Amino acid sequence: MIRLGSNSITRAILLKKHKIDFIQNGGSFDEDSITTTDPKSFVYQATLGKYNELIKKYGCNDMPLLVADSVVTSQNKLLRKAKDAEDAKRMLELQSGSETSVITCMIFKSKEKEIIDISITTYTFDKFKEDDIKQYIESEECFGKAGAIMVEGFCKPYIKTVKGYESTAMGLCVEKLKNHCI
């Protein structure tokens, strides 16, 4: 059993799908306190901030702690979670017909191991249809997702190429977690 230090529903679904027992206890780290615009640096700082908050609160003696964060980058821009429909539309239009990378950082800490990993999955997308963008934004599924993308949903029919694990793009590289931590 591990402690998932994340409020993400998608990360919880990934762990369930891979039959990893967990309890979920997210934190309240303020990502807006991070000033860097470098995607790798940002995702590492966000994950480390969450980790430091949760390791103080829970430790890892009773149960290993797993913390993760993800960001999206397209056309050399850092894309975080959309603030509103206009922001989501801007992000989706930037990624439409472009190469987009999802960068996920995870920190796993148990009594025996401490692992820090940064994984990247890169997609090349076809041009998104305007009507599909509109419906996706109206569904509100784009909110709470880095870059407003959902590779297992909205983006799936637009994927031309992929390099990396889909789980990384969904917020947690489960393959590396299983191989190195559990």
Tell me which residues are annotated as active site. Answer: 69
| Contact indicator for 64, 81 with CB cutoff of 8 Å | no
- Count how many residues are written for the chain: 182
Alpha carbon distances (Å) from 164 to 59, 65, 161? 31, 24, 10
E-strand stretches of the chain: 2-4, 22-24, 65-74, 77-79, 99-109, 114-125, 159-163
CA atoms of 4 and 44, how far apart (whole Å) = 17
Please compute, for residue 71, the number of CA atoms within 13 A of its CA located in the half-sphere on the CB side.
23
- Rounded CA separation 160/166 (Å): 14
